[in-house]
Amino acid sequence: MFDFQQISRYRENNRLEAKLATGGLPRSIWETYSAFANSNGGLILLGVEELPDHTLRVQGLLEPHELAEEFWTLVNDPAVVSANILRPEDVWVAGTEEGSVVVIQVPPAERDQRPVYVGGDPFRGSYRRSGDGDYHCTRAELNAMLGGRSH
């Protein structure tokens, strides 16, 4: 479980991504969702900023429940992302002393669900997680994922 009391000790990595989200749902959330789903899964924190020294700090959100609802609407839209692999308990609002944060626990997608991609084209919208970044999948990575699907 993520300990918000120790947030300054955490850093973005291959399983953790912080997004400020004070202006609403960030567009880059879908690349991160795809990357975590196509890799080993991970935790997206909305309402948390990464500081210049790479430490994390809770900024908090004014309307966290509305942001979570917007996320649920969009993750279920196949024009936005190819598959919703989340269960209801994978998205929640965490209250901290500094403010509320939306937490999204993205599991790794099953082999027959991969690739999870943004938009309508798996060759342009599939991402993978490496270190603290989201990267387009190579054609070889995509072919391996597509070859792993059950027929």
- Per-residue pLDDT tens for 90-122? 999 999 889 999 999 999 999 999 999 999 999
User: Which pLDDT does position 150 carry in this prediction?
Assistant: 58
Confidence (pLDDT) at 54: 93
At 100, give phi and psi (nearest 5°): -90, 145
Contacts of 69 (CB under 8 A, 6+ apart): none
Strand partners, 111: none
Which two tokens mark 28?
């880059």
pLDDT tens sequence across 25-74: 999 999 999 999 999 999 999 999 999 999 999 999 999 999 999 999 99
